Amino acid sequence: MIDLRLKIDPLPIVEPLVIRLRNEPQNCQTEHDAVLVDTEGTRLEYDYNGFSFGLHRQDDENFDGDVILALPGQRIAHRLIRSKSPHNTFLVTEQCDQLCVMCSQPPKKHHADLFSQFALAASLAPLNATIGISGGEPLLHKERLFSMVETVASTRPDIRFHILSNGQHFVTEDIRRLVAMGTERILWGIPLYAADGLTHDRIVGKDGAFQNLQRGLGILIKAGASIELRTVVMQQNKDRLSDLANFLFTRLSCIDVWAIMQMERIGYGRMNWATSFHDSSADFTQLARAIDMSAARGISVALYNFPLCSVPLQYREFALSTISDWKQKYLDICEACGSRAACGGFFEWYSHKEGFAGLGAL
Amino acid sequence: MTVFPLKFRQTADGDVLFCDDAGGFFKSDDAFLSRYAHDQFTADDDAFLLRNGHAFEEVGDVAYSGFEYRFASRLYAPGPLDYIILVPTLRCNLACGYCQVSRVNENTPGFDWSNQTLEAVLSFLGTITAPKIKIEFQGGEPTLRLDILSTVRDFCRSRFERCEFVVCTNLQDVSDEVWSFLSLTDVYVSTSLDGDVSTHELQRTFKSARTAQFVENLDAAIARLGNGKVSALPTIDPRRPPEPKSVIEAYTSRGMNSIYLRPVNYQGFARKRYDARASSSAWNAYHSSFIDELVEFNFTAEVPAEEYYFVHCLRRILRAGHNGHVDLRNPNIVGHGYVVIDHDGKIYPTDEARMVSRVGQFDLSMGDVFTGMTMATVDALNEEASNNFHPDCVHCTYQAYCGIDLVDDLSRYGRIDLPKDQTDFCQRHLALFDKIFAMIYSDDPKIRKSLAIWAGVPSFDASIARCHQ
């Protein structure tokens, strides 16, 4: 597991500080760049506009191009952007208005607004980067979120965003702004768990969520937004997947992709694992039907977070390697596997005792 | 709740097939039809229609906008001009009885591009703004003018980010220089193999030595270039078609598993020799038996095969936005995404339009490379190029899947206002769609296996063939 936090020497700051780390002085293009001046064991010394600060590394990590966030009084810096990784996500809030049974990031009441810092960090990202925006529910702070995207779009039109949202908070007035931000710039990752309100609402822990979501999706459709529809498959909804496939075909053919996802065993997902995890290696029937119904009718469908060996051979082409590098692991059985390079493996917090029954090296 | 208009058609097994304008479909019976006609839907009917995208509750809800989207994405919108068919010569070293593209003998002067024409073509290509281009060399036999092919290729490679060149050659006489050109990484070969070898000889080569020479070249092309870069079309005479089995064998044994059956085209010089006008029923019967044979073949074959156009139509039924074939689009806007430049530098919207013009029926040219494109003729044609409001098509169950081909109508009948059901285009497509729906609703495991392969899925799910009582 890659630690997304770095130990730093305390900085005399009163405001959160965003810094891009560079190895060579000629690569320092902005006032936010700090250049590496000395390496002593595990301590790296940087020059930041004439001030020096120290950063402690494990292993032989190279931070060139990375963007970190330092907070006042903390000896920890957050690695907002790892320049060599495609998996960079900003956790913009921990507040949420849903309580999903499989949530990997359970909500908290408190919110610290760091949107300005995130906007700055995004503007320091490598060329053509896609930055994930996650929560909590980012749209609880819609105005701040939208202005962050607009700010970045104006200075860094090459940067794209992948925003995970429950889709509950769009209003008709947003359409113009969504269009102006650019429908290719943002991929909206929106969860939908069933084609019926009762099942969906029960899974997300909010009455009326399904109704509200349909309205929100309607607004995104009108705006021509790019949509990744996300469905975590669980015991609660696995038998309704074909109804959902039909719902997507008739209502939501415009989506870019339907992501059918495996659970992540952390947060509420860990708490509810026994009552929610669906072992798709033992029973793939409903998933197979959902894929068959969708792919035949031109809906692009993909399996996220499914180890390749858990998927029947003829459906393996739909399984993408989607687990972020920093929380990805492989098991002992993966040692002998020839498909490891194409396989996303497992979440760091996956427990094989309670996991897939039917795995094996390919 | 409001139901989107349903069109219906009795099927061979006595059921009634219902389709809507966005391409949604289901099977039901006369009783349902009667309830529909008398506005007496049951709660069960309502629930079925709403669940399956045939109805909506409020304008703007997801059922409504989902339908809108599926309807709209079935409409073809031409992209920028990035596909040019070039005819550098009409001369040919074969004299096939049905030659559809009109040709002259190999030694006839005056049917090649002059230097001025070549220069004007290059400046025309130079005005194209798309970053990529696809050039298809047709003829005549284009390899008779390899010098022109090389000049055009060099020019395009210096002008565009990405280029693809297709040489439509009969592979009859292939010189070392031609082999070198065909072996280039951005060059693809499209040739003719008329069903099986004996039919090929009957229709194209006439002498066994010539036939053997072609077969040798075809096999050499596949061996040298790989079967991914060589495609072949069989032109079929519906009155004397080869056995489907032998066609499938001739193609699949060479690793060519996509077979695009073409009926002899009633245009160019073909119409002088064959009565293709009344042949649609013979063609339909042959095509249907060919599909049946493919289904048999695929049930046990290690590598399955397909009939290209059948698969295209199947996918057009299942999916919106499947507009990749110029012969089946709605609206069929011509003269925008691709054009044809003839041996004399004249520009045509389609290859068929070139032939209609050549036999003197109509002048469907749209200017030439010397003076530039003129859009008046194609604009007039394009105004009629939609089936959405056509008085016959609006009643047709298959309207959403179908297209329109005005140049074909002009070529066959000299007019575009014949009742659609009397046209070859309509008769062929009605038969095709009938066949496909019969297969979609079949529970024969052999058929279901082929459908899955052709739809590109591991298994063809029975729920796609919805029924409602």
Residues of B in contact with A217 (CB under 8 A): 62
Residues of A in contact with B61 (CB under 8 A): 214, 218
Q: Do B464 and A250 touch (CB under 8 A)?
A: no
* pLDDT tens track for B211-234: 999 999 999 999 999 878 999 999
Instruction: Tell how strand A88-91 and strand A130-134 pair up.
Output: parallel
Closest CA to A225 of A185, A167, A195: A185
Instruction: Tell how strand A76-81 and strand A67-70 pair up.
Output: antiparallel
* Count of CB pairs separated by less than 8 Å, A with B: 79
Q: Which of A25-29, A317-321, B126-130, B391-395 has the lowest mean pLDDT?
A: A25-29
pLDDT at B273 over 70: no
B88: CB partners within 8 A, 6+ apart: B112, B113, B118, B137, B139, B140, B142, B145, B148, B149, B152, B343
CA of A326 vs chain B CAs: smallest distance (Å): 33
Q: Which of A250, A252, A253 sits opposite B52 (nearest CB)?
A: A250
B325: CB partners within 8 A, 6+ apart: B309, B312
Report CA Rg, chain A. Answer: 21
Q: Which of A251, A252, A293 sits opposite B463 (nearest CB)?
A: A293
What is the C-alpha to C-alpha distance for residues A156 and B29, in angstroms, rounded to an integer? 59
Q: Is there a contact between B69 and A253 (Cβ–Cβ < 8 Å)?
A: yes
Q: Do B457 and A250 touch (CB under 8 A)?
A: no
ipTM, two decimals, is 0.91
A346 DSSP β-pair partners = A329
First to last CA, chain A: 24
A320 DSSP β-pair partners = A304
* pLDDT tens track for B165-213: 999 999 999 999 999 999 999 999 999 999 899 999 999 999 999 999 9
pTM, two decimals, is 0.93
Tokens standing for residue A68: 């970190």
Chain B residue closest to A222 (CA)? B65
Continuous H helices in B23-145: 30-37, 43-51, 62-72, 115-126
A38 DSSP β-pair partners = A45
pLDDT of residue B412: 86
What is the C-alpha to C-alpha distance for residues B246 and B231, in angstroms, rounded to an integer? 18
Q: Is there a contact between A57 and A101 (Cβ–Cβ < 8 Å)?
A: no
First to last CA, chain B: 19
pLDDT of residue A342: 93
Chain A residue closest to B70 (CA)? A253
> What's the distance, CA A40 to chain centroid?
35
Q: Is there a contact between A199 and A157 (Cβ–Cβ < 8 Å)?
A: no
What is the C-alpha to C-alpha distance for residues A266 and A323, in angstroms, rounded to an integer? 14
Q: Tokens 């059921």 sit at which residue?
A: B15
Helical packing angle, A209-222 and A174-181, nearest 10°: 50
Interface test with A, best of B73, B457, B463, B466 (most A CBs within 10 A): B457
- In the structure, what pLDDT confidence band is assigned to residue B433 with cuts at 50, 70 and 90? very high
Q: Is there a contact between A190 and A98 (Cβ–Cβ < 8 Å)?
A: no
Tokens standing for residue B167: 């040489």
- In the structure, what pLDDT confidence band is assigned to residue B270 with cuts at 50, 70 and 90? low
pLDDT of residue A84: 93
Concatenating the DSSP letter of every residue in B402-447 gives: ----HHHHHHHHS-S-S-GGGSHHHHHHHHHHHHHHHHHT---HHH
B357: CB partners within 8 A, 6+ apart: B346, B348, B363, B364, B365
Tell me which H or E stretch contains B383.
helix B376-383
Greatest alpha-carbon span in chain B: 75
Greatest alpha-carbon span in chain A: 63
Closest CA to A287 of A345, A235, A239: A239
Between the alpha carbon of residue A159 and those of residues A27, A34, A227, the distances in Å are 19, 22, 17
pLDDT beneath 70, residues of chain A: none
Residues of B in contact with A240 (CB under 8 A): none
Q: 3-state class of A26 per DSSP?
A: helix
- In the structure, what pLDDT confidence band is assigned to residue B102 with cuts at 50, 70 and 90? confident
Q: Do B53 and A251 touch (CB under 8 A)?
A: yes
B151 burial level (CB within 10 Å; 0-12, 13-18, 19+): middle
Chain A residue closest to B56 (CA)? A251
Give the residue range(s) of CATH 3.20.20.70 domains in chain A.
Answer: 82-354
* pLDDT tens track for B24-44: 999 999 999 999 999 999 999
Neighbours of B144 (CB within 10 A): 21
pLDDT at B277 over 80: no
Q: Is there a contact between B23 and B320 (Cβ–Cβ < 8 Å)?
A: yes
What is the C-alpha to C-alpha distance for residues A49 and B416, in angstroms, rounded to an integer? 76
Tell me which H or E stretch contains B2.
strand B2-3
At residue A143's C-alpha, the angle toward residues A141 and A145, to 5°, is: 65
Residues of B in contact with A229 (CB under 8 A): none
Torsion of CA B104, B108, B110, B111, to 10 degrees: 30
What is the C-alpha to C-alpha distance for residues A104 and A349, in angstroms, rounded to an integer? 11
What is the C-alpha to C-alpha distance for residues B136 and B325, in angstroms, rounded to an integer? 15
Q: Do A315 and B458 touch (CB under 8 A)?
A: yes
A44 DSSP β-pair partners = A39, A55
- In the structure, what pLDDT confidence band is assigned to residue B271 with cuts at 50, 70 and 90? low
Q: Which of A222, A254, A296 sits opposite B461 (nearest CB)?
A: A296
Interface test with A, best of B3, B20, B52, B62 (most A CBs within 10 A): B62
> What's the distance, CA B427 to chain centroid?
16
Q: Which of A218, A253, A292 sits opposite B70 (nearest CB)?
A: A253
Q: Which CATH architecture has domain B83-376?
A: Alpha-Beta Barrel (3.20)
Residues of B in contact with A313 (CB under 8 A): none
What is the C-alpha to C-alpha distance for residues B182 and B189, in angstroms, rounded to an integer? 7
Chain A residue closest to B24 (CA)? A250
CA of A299 vs chain B CAs: smallest distance (Å): 8
Residues of A in contact with B320 (CB under 8 A): 253, 298
What is the C-alpha to C-alpha distance for residues B152 and A31, in angstroms, rounded to an integer? 52
How many CA within 13 A on the CB side of residue A218? Answer: 19
What is the C-alpha to C-alpha distance for residues A213 and A207, in angstroms, rounded to an integer? 11
Sign of CA pseudo-dihedral A208, A213, A219, A222:
negative
A60 DSSP β-pair partners = none
What is the C-alpha to C-alpha distance for residues A214 and A212, in angstroms, rounded to an integer? 5
Report yes or no: B131 at the A interface, CB cutoff 8 Å: no
CATH of domain A82-354: 3.20.20.70
**Residue type at position A105:** Q
What is the domain partition of chain B in residue ranges?
A: 1-72, 83-376
